[in-house]
Each structure stands twice: as structure tokens, then as C-alpha cells.
Structure 1
Amino acid sequence: MLRRLPTSRLLLVLGAAVAILAGGTALAMAALGGSGPTPPAKPLDAAVHDALSAPAVQGVTARITFTNRLIDKSSLPGGANPLLSGATGRLWAAADGRVRLELQSDNGDAQIVSDGDTVTIYDGTLRQAYRITLPAGAGPGHAAPHAVPALQKIDELLARVAQTADLSGAKPSDIAGRAAYTVRVSPKHDGGLVGAAELAFDAANGTPLRVAVYASGDPSPVLELEATDISYGRVPTADLSAPVPAGTKVTTVDLGGHAPAGAAGGRGGASTTATTPQAVAKALAFPLSAPDTLVGLPRRDVRVVASGQAKGALVTYGQGLGGIAVLEQAAPAADAAAGGGGGAPGGLSLPKVSIDGASGEELATALGTVVRFERGGVQYTVIGSVPPSAAEAAARAL
């Protein structure tokens, strides 16, 4: 599976899926029932403070709509999975950080499940899954006990955010029948192709009701997760889990320096803790390419990713949304012999590119570009919130 990681799915794993999970896990913050008109106008700090003053909830159950405009609909094959095409679905979240998001489709549902330490993304249309280990202590289940920050602390936090991003005020709105405030955040620099993000939260309790990501210069959201109906209360354990069906191909990605619980003997294989170029190179069956800089960006991190006995490397460059990630894998034997890029993933018809004579494929989206090519028996996938020309330049610099 690691050798055939589809380009479109890889983009979702490292980008869109994270955005989806961020919206989903945020729904577990706090809650209170009821509905009403748009709330009164307030300064942002006061709106946040008042919303967080409500008691924490035990859980959230919601019906949602997910919009995905990363790829033009005309480029999607019939029966594309709902992570690519958008869909309606349901979301469940518990106060301890467990989250499940279900996107429904006639061709197979998609599931995103997290226990606070790992995230599992399941594509029912292709019977493929991706298990991601989050950085240690980063999951919502590791958050400090619910406490209402003082207004001064909220002001300090907003001031820190304002150092790197432009913040709007709290705009009164009405979402899912709930009085809400909407906040828009725009990166001041290192934003890549990302123009802004919006978060709408319940005015009564701070529960996020909508999260959206906008491309630079585009007034419509490229990615959007919005609650259309929401209720609060304890969520049954069964609603928070969705076991991966037997026979599913599972790829693991370790972002936390440790393997997921039970991964060593599971279907997805184990990730290693190697985090230096020298250690990662020793773990691979092919030469590692991890230059100190890539198109002017300093190397930030290098890790091993694995599926079964097959190991690859994930190398990241730069800071913020303007960074670039490179996935390196042993090329499938047939493609290595042909010197190709592995064929169009998921039925997508992708433009061909030449990387210093090596044939490859390119997936350009509103928020970034993915370039995949093979050279010397190694398959390289370059990902970044950059235009195609920048991604191609990075690929040629490897």
C-alpha cells in the first residue's frame, strides 16, 4: 500500500483531513441546548470569554455538510469518494477527545475516527485506510481540565495570534439554528496559497459550528465543514468507533515519534522513531534524498513512514503553510522499469510532467500542488501549498 499511496488521497491525508478533524474535534469543547436569532454585537475577546463561561458538555451529535472544491468536479471520476467530492454526513464527539466523522456516499462511506492520539481515515470506495499518529500530547484528550480563562488571558492569546495573522471581529451569525459568532483569520506571511480560515462558534457556549478554508483571492470556501443540526449530551461509545473492515489496506504515518498503540502487530505495520537523516537512511532500502535546503527552505524534519515491511521517508521543509513536504518510497517494480509516475490515482486524469527527464504526474488544487515522479528506483511525492511551478522546482532540486 505504501508503494501505491494515491496522490489525491495523500493530499487529503496531509491537508484536508487535518482540517476536517480540526473542525470535528473542536465540536467537543462545550455546549448548551436551545436556539435563537443572531447574538448581539460584542468585541471578540468578550464573545470568546462569555461563550467559554458555559459549563463543559459531555458530548456532541451533529448532522453536517462537507464541501470540497480542491479539485474541479469535471476532473473527478464517477463514484469519487466523499472526501474528494463533498458530502453530507454525521459527527459524534466526546469530551475526552474521541471523535468520529462519517461522510455518506452511494459508492461507499468515508470515516475519520480519532481517539485523541491517532487519527484513522477510511475510504470505503477503495477499501483503503490511513492511520496517523499525532504528536505526543497534541490531541484534545490531553487538554487541561475545562477552565474559563480571564479576559486578560484571552487578550494575550489574541495578541499572539495577531503577530502572524489578521483577525476579524466577532461577526454575529446564525448557524444550525444557533446564535453564533464568526471569526476570520488570514495569515500575514508564509500562508502559501491559503487566503483565510473562518470559524463560527455557538454564542451560548463556544462550540464551533462551522470551519472553512479559503484560497487566496477566492471569496468562496474551498473546504468547509458546517453543522446543519446539532445536539449536546453524552455520546454512546459505539457511535465513537468505526473499526476498519478486514482486508482493508492500511498505511501508517507517525507524526509523533512513536507508533500507534497496537501498530506493531496490526494490519498497518509499525512506524519507527528515527528522526535524523542518518537514522532514517539506515532504515530504508533505497537512498534517502534530504538536502539541507530545498528551493531556499531549510529542512525541518525527517521521519520514517511504514506500511507492513515497506518503509519510506517523510521530509519537511520550511515553516507555516508555505512549507513543502517530500514523501520518498521504493518505486513499484513495474513502474520503476518503465520510469513512469505510477498511473493516475483514483481514476483521476492527471497532467504529465517531466522532472529532469523523469516522467511524473501533477495534481494542482486551489490550496496547493502535488508532484509525483520516479527516479533511480525511488518514487518521490512533493506536496506544498505552492503553485505548480514551485512544486516542480522543488522536485527538480531533489
Structure 2
Amino acid sequence: MDPKRKAITAAVVGTALGVGGLVVVAMPATAGDAPVLPQISAEELVQSTLNAKPSAFDGKVKVSNDLGLPQVGGALPGVSALDVDSAQVSTDGAGKSKISLTEGSSQQTIVRNGQTVWEYNSKDNSATKITVPAELAKEHQNKGEAVDPATVASELLGKVRESSTIAVDGTASVANRAAYELVLTPKPTERTLLREIRVAIDDQTRMPLRVTVLANGTSAPAFEASFSEINFAAQPASNFEFTPPKGAKVTEKAPEIEPKDRELAERAKSEIKVVGDGWDTAITGKIPADALAKAGEAKDEQGRQVDPKALLTRFAKPVSGAWGSGWLVTTKVGTGVLTDDGRYAAGAVPEQVLFEALAAK
């Protein structure tokens, strides 16, 4: 698939599905007696976690998806990424990283080393070498792609701490390391589908090892991602080098952003509006007509043409109100609305909150 078309389609799908970073959670990775650690206040634990410096490490993350997503098979590009079973993550703590995602018998590897990014897919034995222009590398140097709980937890803490009741709920052993259990519960005024967020924070490094998000009305996490193994140590330079396997089909490219595509992205960005804050935040915006047209030209993971409206009738329900009409997608942890005229709203909130956000001037 054309990378630009795939990116636009993924953005539309991500908006429809809802809550972005608020869907990563975890289950206990080890059992046994809780470790004994010095007492610490919730605020001190939060602050020390946000202030912690990135560490070099190599670890394995276990992933399980029970988000309640619609069963669309391979019809939506990018949705299969949510079916990852596990991930091996390595970083030097200064920008170099290697991520290997396992799904069934296949594996996708992404190695980032300065301006060079390798992407390898074992399913078809193909590798792509991307040389990122210096100006783009600088622009995105702090926007690394991470699947570990640490990145997610830090983002969550920054977004919902002010609208939460925060407490330290004992200790836990995660990946054979002692950790504090931090619990964030939405204040009574917050309208959200989420019941609580639990973060297991490493006693020594203050790095989150496990993040658990529980939805209202369910006893088990909707999704889990937790370190089952982790080693804090300097990583060898060879970890961030990649040599394509024998027989691999190798493609080299240097990404270029065409003026029209940059204008399209800036236009979409200018339409984004944040309504509310904390747990009941909703994101609204409008998808440019050009982007909708390109999404309509998308193909599924088997290369077949995708009919966006036909897909919506399969996994979304029609809704309407003072804001107009459109389609509603509901999961255990979030909702999303895509209107007939290309507007959207999404969040970890009940549908009424989205309808109000769409109607807001």
C-alpha cells in the first residue's frame, strides 16, 4: 500500500477507535510475597517517575488484547498491529532503539539508529531501509516509537494526575524487580469509561514496569502489556545495527514530504480541538476532503479495495443529534464518532460526551 495512503487510513481508523494511549494495560507478571519497600507519598512517587532519566535496557513485554474491538479481520489497514503477542524492546537511553513485535509465527522488527531506520517483516522476508533527512530526524527526535509501559505511563500521569485521586497501594514484584503500585482513580466529576489506572513503578530506576487500565463494568483488564523480563544495562552497539537475512527483498528509500501533503497535515492539525480535560477529555476535528478521498482508495491487508462506508455499516452504528449524523464505534475503553461530513470526536468517555463535544462551538 502507498505509505501516505496507509498513514491517512490508519489515522482515520485510530480516531474512530478512540483513546490512543489510554488503552495500554497490564496484568501481574509474577506471583509471590509483595516486596518490603520504604514508605513514599503518592505525589513524591509521581514526581520522581516523571523526573527520572531514560535508562538503557533490554526487556520483553507481554501483550494481550481484550479491548472489545469490532471483528473486521484484515479489512482495516493497521488493525492487525493490535494483535501483537509480545515485544522485545532494547534502547540505549539516548535515542537508539530496537523493537521486535511477535504475532503468531511472524515477527516485525524496527531498528532506529540516528537517521537510519530498518523495518523487517519475517512473514514475507522483506526489509526496508529508510534514511531520514536531517531536518526530519531533528523534528522527530523526541517522538520515538515505543511499545513499553514506561512511555505510556509517563504520558498518562501527565494527562490525568490533576483530575485523579492518587494513592500508593502497596508493592509488587514485576519481572523479578521490586515496584510500588500507584493507583489513579477518576474524581467523581469525571465522565469516563475507565475505572482506574494502576502503574507498577520500579523502586530503583522509577521506570514504570506495568500499566493497568480497568474499564467500568469489567473485572479484568481490557488490554495488557507488562515487562515479563527486563535487564537495566548498557546495550551493545550491535543491538542497533541490522543486516537483512539471506534472500530478503530489500528496498531503500528516503521519505519526502510533498508540499501538498504537508499542507494537508497542517490543515487537519488546525481543525483539532480538545474539549474538556483529564479523564473526560474528548478530541474533535475534521478530516480534509482530500484525506477522505485518499482513505477511500485504500486497500486491505490482502490488497483488496476498501469501501469505507461498507466497513462502517459492519462495525459501527448510525447515530444523529443536534450536531448532525454519523457513525458510532464503541469499545470497552473508548468511543469514537465519525460524522457524515468528515468531523470526528473520540475519547475514553460515554457517547453523550462526544455528542456534546461535536455540538460545542
TM bucket normalised to smaller:
0.5 to 0.7
Gaps of 5+ in 2: 27-31, 127-131, 145-156, 244-248, 298-306
Asked if structure 2 preserves the Cα contact closer than 8 Å seen for 1:67 and 1:87, the reply is yes
Counterpart in the other structure of 2:233: 233
Match of 1:351 in 2: 316
Q: 1:389 to 1:219 in 2, by over 3 A?
A: same
Q: How does 1:139-158 map to 2 (within 5 A)?
A: none
Match of 1:332 in 2: 293
In structure 2, the CA distance between the partners of 1:312 and 1:341, relative to structure 1 (3 Å rule), is farther
Distance (Å, rounded) in 2 between the aligned partners of 1:97 and 1:394: 37
CA displacement at 1:15 relative to structure 2:
0.6
The offset of 1:227, in angstroms, is: 0.6
The structure 1 residue matched to 2:68, chosen from 71, 91, 98, is 71
Residue of structure 2 equivalent to 1:391: 354
* Greater Cα shift, 2-11 or 358-367: 2-11
What's 2:179 paired with? 180
Does the 8 A contact of 2:282 with 2:353 survive in 1? no
Q: 1:4 maps to what in 2?
A: 9
1:266 aligns with 2:225: no
Equivalence for 1:361: 327
What does the per-residue CA deviation read over 1:154-196, in whole Å, with 9 as the maximum and x for residues that have no partner?
xxxx9xx875321122512111122222111123244632322
Q: CA RMSD in A?
A: 5.4
Question: Offset at 1:84?
Answer: 2.3
Of 33, 39, 48, the match for 2:35: 39
The separation in 2 between residues aligned to 1:361 and 1:247, in whole angstroms, is 39
- Does the CA-based 8 Å contact 1:271-1:304 persist in structure 2? no
- Counterpart-to-counterpart distance in 2, 1:316 and 1:133: 27
Against the structure 1 CA distance between its residues 233 and 333, is the aligned structure 2 distance closer, same or farther, given a 3 Å change threshold? closer
Shift of 1:5: 3.9
Greater fraction helix: 2
Q: Is the 8 A contact 1:341 1:374 kept in 2?
A: no
What SS does the aligned partner of 1:218 have?
Answer: coil
Secondary structure, aligned partner of 1:372: strand
Please tell me whether the aligned partners of residues 95 and 141 of structure 2 are also in contact (alpha carbons under 8 angstroms): no
Cα-to-partner distance string for 1:265-303 (whole Å, 9 max, x where unaligned): 725657999xxxxxxxxx56xxxxxxxxxxxxxxxxxx7
| 1:349 counterpart SS class | helix
Q: Which letter does structure 1 place at the counterpart of 2:282? A: G
Question: How many pairs does the alignment contain?
Answer: 303
Structure 2 contact 108–122 (Cα < 8 Å) conserved: yes
CA distance, structure 1, for counterparts of residue 67 and residue 143 of structure 2: 26
Q: Deviations over 1:2-61 (max 9, x none)?
A: 653464444579613x766x99xxxxxxxxxxxx96321532249959x98xx9785111
Matches of 1:116 and 1:184, distance apart in 2: 36
The CA distance in 2 between the partners of 1:171 and 1:116, in whole Å, is: 40
Alignment-derived partner of residue 216 in structure 2: 216
Contact 2:64 2:85 in 1 (8 A): yes
Q: Within 5 Å, give how 1:370-389 maps onto structure 2.
A: 370-375=336-341, 379-389=342-352
Matched, 1:61 2:58: yes
Counterpart CA distance in 2 for 1:121 and 1:367 is 30
Deviations 1:238-282 (A, max 9, x none): 645889x9889xxxxxxxxxxxxx9xx725657999xxxxxxxxx
**How far did residue 369 of structure 1 move?**
1.2
Do the aligned residues in 1 keep the contact of 2:19 with 2:347 (CA within 8 Å)? no
Q: Is the 8 A contact 2:101 2:109 kept in 1?
A: yes
TM-score, structure 1 length as denominator? 0.56
